[in-house]
Amino acid sequence: MIIAAIGVVLLVAGLVLVLRPKSAPADAAPSPLARLPKNSGAFIAIAGVLVLALGLLASFTHSSTAKTAHVELAVGNCVTSKDYRTAQLGKIQPTPCDDHTAVYELAAAVKDGGTCPDGKLRDAGYFVLTDGSHSLCFAPNVKVGDCFSLQDTVNQLTPVDCAATGGPGVTVKVDNRFDGITDPAGCVIPQAAMVTTQPPRVVCWKPVQTAS
């Protein structure tokens, strides 16, 4: 807005020069603008218009960028593993849940000490992003047959090639997925299942056996 203000000043000064009388009263105090030739007023006014337009454009662009940068995710929206890793809560863009890379589904957005749907936050059965005052709780939105690397100290899903060997963490495959229930009994390894109550979902994990 400073640029726009400068433009207004220049525009007014230019108009004063253009509209000033050819001769001033004898007893009138001399104006600082009186030293300038009258035809300079038009150039100053035009410069003012240009600077004003530039200032308004810069202000509009900044406002539009700010609105784009802060996206409010809604419960049920999905995000990719790449966007999740940025950990910038106000800048995560939603991705269609049927997209293969959208492996997280927002289950709850809480603030001021709130918890995930399971009543926990630090040790919640969700993938949690927090900035101290706001937290996002994500359920896994994974596809059967996909593989991921899971680490005890990293609260995220890292997509990997099922045939990959080595690397940090444990490589697991999505053996099955059940929506609408919270009972892991249908999993081959029930104790390895991930269960969320909102949305009600059971993801069955199975360790990937790689050839040594």
Give the model's confidence band at 89: pLDDT under 50 very low, under 70 low, under 90 confident, else very high: confident
Residue 97 has pLDDT above 80, yes or no: yes
Higher pLDDT, 26 or 85: 85
Give the model's confidence band at 48: pLDDT under 50 very low, under 70 low, under 90 confident, else very high: low
DSSP 89: G
Q: How far is CA 8 from CA 17, 36, 61, 156, in A?
A: 14, 19, 19, 53
Q: Give the CA radius of gyration of the chain.
A: 31
pLDDT confidence of residue 65: 34
Average of per-residue pLDDT across 181-185: 97
Residue 70 has pLDDT above 80, yes or no: no
Distance of CA 112 to the CA centre of its chain: 20
Higher pLDDT, 207 or 166: 207
pLDDT confidence of residue 46: 62
Contact 126, 103 (CB under 8 A): no
Helices marked H in 70-190: 81-86
Phi, psi angles (nearest 5°) of residue 197: -90, -25
Question: For the chain, what percent of residues have pLDDT higher than 70?
Answer: 64
Average of per-residue pLDDT across 136-149: 95
pLDDT confidence of residue 155: 85
What is the per-residue pLDDT across 113-124, written as a single tens digit (0 to 9) for each?
899 999 998 889
Give the model's confidence band at 133: pLDDT under 50 very low, under 70 low, under 90 confident, else very high: confident
Residues forming beta bridges with residue 160, ordered by sequence position: 147
Contact 135, 99 (CB under 8 A): no
